[in-house]
């Protein structure tokens, strides 16, 4: 989600002036937030807790709290995992319409953020528990799992980008926009890609 328009983080000295020297309570209780996330039934609710994680991270930065900073990263990871799970439940891939990743993008996430949410939603509970030992941004954590499967990463990343481009650009619009000197190369690439994808689809195990 874009950080454009967010208020700048106060320094510790500025914060003390605002609070007259007192250290305010943290903006969110971690345990309460985690419990609330498990009960979230729509994406707006999960995004609310993702924003709360950002607020907690900002508080941790102002007051130099390593523990609050760690909990902010963990909360963000949990929020993204729940987002990915809900997106899969609301719009499963079996439907003809664009799938869960597209739903996340429609809800305000970038393509990279949506991919991270879906990756975190698919890993096992054991893997997610292990990932929490070294909390980081959801994108960083998701990349750890993608990097363990280099072939899948090499295939999926460009395919996600290509699919997003194709959804936004009709074939005729592309033909009209490119120079005629590129037609032969475009035709060759289209044939090679379509043949490769046809073979991949045929060799994939049939859905049960």
pLDDT at 2: 42
Q: How many domains is the chain partitioned into structurally?
A: 1
* Structural contact between residues 84 and 121, judged by C-beta atoms closer than 8 angstroms: yes
**Is residue 205 assigned to a domain?**
no
21: left (phi over 0), alpha (psi -120 to 50) or beta: left
What is the rounded distance in angstroms from the CA atom of residue 89 to the CA atom of residue 103?
11
Which residues constitute the domain of residue 55? 12-137
What is the rounded distance in angstroms from the CA atom of residue 53 to the CA atom of residue 75?
6
**Is residue 74 assigned to a domain?**
yes
pLDDT at 28: 85
What is the rounded distance in angstroms from the CA atom of residue 134 to the CA atom of residue 5?
29
**Is residue 153 assigned to a domain?**
no
**Is residue 156 assigned to a domain?**
no
Length of the chain: 208
pLDDT at 7: 44
Model pLDDT for residues 93-131, shown as the tens digit of each residue: 765 678 899 999 999 999 889 999 999 999 999 999 999
Mean pLDDT by 10 residues, the chain (208 residues): 46 55 70 93 94 92 91 96 95 75 92 92 93 94 79 78 84 93 93 92 77
Kindly tell me the sign of the dihedral angle through the C-alpha atoms of 176, 182, 187, 193. negative
**Is residue 143 assigned to a domain?**
no
Kindly tell me the sign of the dihedral angle through the C-alpha atoms of 36, 38, 40, 44. positive
Write the CA distances from 77 to 61, 114, 120, 131, integer angstroms: 18, 13, 8, 9
**Is residue 125 assigned to a domain?**
yes
pLDDT at 152: 74
Tell me the whole-structure pTM to 2 decimals: 0.65
**Is residue 49 assigned to a domain?**
yes
* Structural contact between residues 26 and 59, judged by C-beta atoms closer than 8 angstroms: yes
**Is residue 181 assigned to a domain?**
no
pLDDT at 137: 95
Phi (first) and psi of residue 123, to 5 degrees: -75, 160
Structure tokens at 119: 């990756």
Which residues, 6 or more positions from 45, have their beta carbon under 8 angstroms from its beta carbon?
36
């Amino acid at each position: 989600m874009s950080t454009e328009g967010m208020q700048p983080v106060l320094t510790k000295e500025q914060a003390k002036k605002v609070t007259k020297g007192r250290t305010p309570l943290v903006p969110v209780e971690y345990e309460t937030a985690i419990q609330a996330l498990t009960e979230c039934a729509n994406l707006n609710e999960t995004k609310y807790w993702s924003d709360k994680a950002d607020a907690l991270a900002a508080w941790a930065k102002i007051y130099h709290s390593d523990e609050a900073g760690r909990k902010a990263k963990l909360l963000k990871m949990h929020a993204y995992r729940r987002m990915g799970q809900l997106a899969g439940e609301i719009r499963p891939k079996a439907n003809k319409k664009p799938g869960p990743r597209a739903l996340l993008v429609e809800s305000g996430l970038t393509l990279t953020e949506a991919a991270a949410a879906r990756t975190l939603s698919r890993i096992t509970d054991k893997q997610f528990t292990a990932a929490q030992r070294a909390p980081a941004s959801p994108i960083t954590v998701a990349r750890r799992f993608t990097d363990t499967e280099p072939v899948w990463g090499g295939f999926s990343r460009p395919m996600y980008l290509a699919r997003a481009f194709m959804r936004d650009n009709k074939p005729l619009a592309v033909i009209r926009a490119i120079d005629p000197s590129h037609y032969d190369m475009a035709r060759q690439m289209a044939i090679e890609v379509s043949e490769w994808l046809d073979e991949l689809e045929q060799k994939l195990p049939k859905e049960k």
